[in-house]
Amino acid sequence: MTAAEAIRRLDSFDIETTVIASMQEAAADFKELNEDQWRQGLRKDGSSIEPYPYSKPYAKKRQKAGLQTDHIDVNFTGNLYRGYKVEFTPQSVNMTNGVDYEKYVSKRYELLYGLSEENRRKFLFENVWPNLKPKIIAQGLPVK
């Protein structure tokens, strides 16, 4: 391919839209990675979800329900996890939750939404790249 042809192909390729579409296709994976962090009791910066521990009465309630009490995982009914939505735009990653009590959970346990550095890499290379690469190749652009 000549340099002029490569430039022509690049000019006709909407990179921003293609990347955002590839990320949106992997939104469920982003959500799952974030929820995995919660299940492990971790915030997006990798620190533990605190304050810890659960109060004694609440720990008893969780144990009775068959749930772990070793760390805060912001899960009792599963509604918070099910209500979580992710949308990608050119400017940001929008993480929302339609559960009515979510605002209290977010206030008490800050930095819940978002991926740790390790999970961001995992998301990009294991989830987004497999969606993006064929779109780049389809434009006739070289990919390594």
The 10s digit of each residue's pLDDT in 16-68 is 999 999 999 999 999 999 999 999 999 999 999 987 778 899 999 999 999 99
pLDDT in tens, 77-134: 989 999 999 999 999 999 999 899 998 888 888 888 999 999 999 999 999 999 999 9
Q: How far is the CA of 54 from the CAs of 44, 46, 70, 87, 129, in angstroms?
A: 20, 19, 9, 32, 39
pLDDT at 14: 86
pLDDT at 144 over 90: no
